[in-house]
Amino acid sequence: MIKEREYRKRRKKIAKKLLNNSVVLLTSAKPKVRSNDTNYPYRQDSNFYYLTGFKEDNASLVFTKSGNKVKTILFVQKKDRQEELWNGKRLGEIEAKKRFLVDEIRVSSSLKESLEELCKDKENLYFDFSIEAPKIKKSLKRSFIAHYDISLLIKKMRLIKSKAEIKLIKKAIKITKKAHHSAMKFNKCTKGENELLAKIEYIFKKNGAYSDAYTSIVACGDSANTLHYIANNKDLKAKELILIDAGCEYEYYASDITRTIPTDGKFTKAQRELYELLLDTQEQVIKMIKPNILRSELQKKAEILLVDGMIKLGIMRGKREKLIKKLKHKKYYPHGIGHWMGLDVHDAAPYLDADKKEIALRKNMLLTIEPGIYISKDDKSVPKRFRGIGIRIEDDILVTKNSHKNLSAGIAKSVKEIEAKSYTCNSNL
């Protein structure tokens, strides 16, 4: 768990970046309707959570800054027995005062009236304009000389992970490891993608991760060639590969892991050839990771290695430089090498600085590395043995002082490791 003093430290850091005579308003995420009068499970807005650690809805955080004086006020829902009967217990104003290290706690119903007082004589408004609070936003805009997007400052801070954040991400990865290893054992006993997905989600919840970090992908055979395949409802077929992109969220922090495994527990020769090309590419790219390296350098390395490998296997034809220049490889490797990860699986942190230059890697940044090869079953330009194969391998990498650490290195991914994890249907799972 992240301690309250860390949230206070983050708020102080943000406050130092504010202009004088300013007010900041951050609101919690709104509940999202699923159907008529039923909602999706509530998930707090990541930026609001980053500065408060508060998980309830109908909450707001207000900063005011005058000279060197900064005041922080957290607005929370008041205790209400009738509402709690239907929707669960609330922390309430009294308990919030005991828990949060802010200057003042007020009830959410007083926000509009309080803002009139707090905004008096203030010139600058900071607001997360990605959050839906149109009535408040409209009324506040009228009385300010300038308004700024506070989310840009928060997202920049989120690039660098604290020790507590890294610990939570490691916990999420530990649970995800159990799920992937279970899937490797379970695949030969399974009839459909949905059954394998259920096993993965069961492991997540059994081990204290009450949510996945994103909609999981369990894609057998040619389904893996749809990058955002989430139907997960087809039968598993013999001698096919299953691409499993699944990671849990633990205390709001994500993991993001992809493994590709054979339905029969053993790779065919063609599957092995493609898989080992991809694995070698991933491992060589990971070795490059250290402070001051650019993600574009990692991308370029992956493209060179994959194109060289595909030429050797007869999937692509021609000179590597010309193929890459004409983007011919995008047919088989259309996405990037990876992304930031943290409170969001695709963490909402910037890739470019204020001058639109690429941000280099720094200590305690965390990113995924996930090369892929996707060959449609209908692609007659490639040797028949490779058609209908989609492979991706993804790990979560922490940048260290002089190098890197693969936080998910313990999850089996070599051909030998994956085949060793596979059991027969009579095994005790």
Query: Which residue is catalytic, options 256, 303, 344, 395?
Result: 256
303 as an active site residue: the answer is no
8 as an active site residue: the answer is no
392 as an active site residue: the answer is yes
Hey, which bits of 240-332 come out as E strands? 241-245, 248-250, 253-254, 258-262
329 as an active site residue: the answer is no
Phi first, then psi: give them for residue 385, nearest 5 degrees: -65, -20
* Structure tokens, 300: 């370029």
80 as an active site residue: the answer is no
SS (H, E, C) the chain: CCCHHHHHHHHHHHHHCCCCCEEEEEECCCCCEEECCEECCCCCCHHHHHHHCCCCCCCEEEEEEECCEEEEEEEECCCCHHHHHHHCCCCHHHHHHHHCCCCEEEEHHHHHHHHHHHCCCCCEEEECCCCCCHHHHHHHHCCCCEEEEHHHHHHHHCCCCCHHHHHHHHHHHHHHHHHHHHHHHHHHHCCEHHHHHHHHHHHHHHCCCCEECCCCEEEEHHHHHCCCCCCCCCECCCCCEEEEECCEEECCEECCCEEEEECCCCCCHHHHHHHHHHHHHHHHHHHCCCCCCCHHHHHHHHHHHHHHHHHHCCCCCCCHHHHHHCCHHHHCCCCCCCCECCCCCCCCCCCECCCCCECCCCCCCEEEECCEEEECCCCCCCCHHHCCEEEECEEEEEECCCCEEECCCCCCCCHHHHHHHCCCCCCCC
404 as an active site residue: the answer is no
Query: Which residue is catalytic, options 339, 395, 396, 404?
Result: 339
Count each helix (H run) and each strand (E run) in the chain, helices first.
Answer: 13, 19
Query: Which residue is catalytic, options 99, 320, 335, 387?
Result: 335
Query: Which residue is catalytic, options 394, 395, 396, 404?
Result: 394
* Structure tokens, 22: 């300013």
Opening angle at CA 215, ends 211 and 220, nearest 5? 125
Phi first, then psi: give them for residue 191, nearest 5 degrees: -95, -35
Query: Which residue is catalytic, options 8, 147, 320, 346?
Result: 346
84 as an active site residue: the answer is no
339 as an active site residue: the answer is yes
Residues annotated as catalytic are: 37, 228, 245, 256, 335, 339, 346, 370, 374, 392, 394
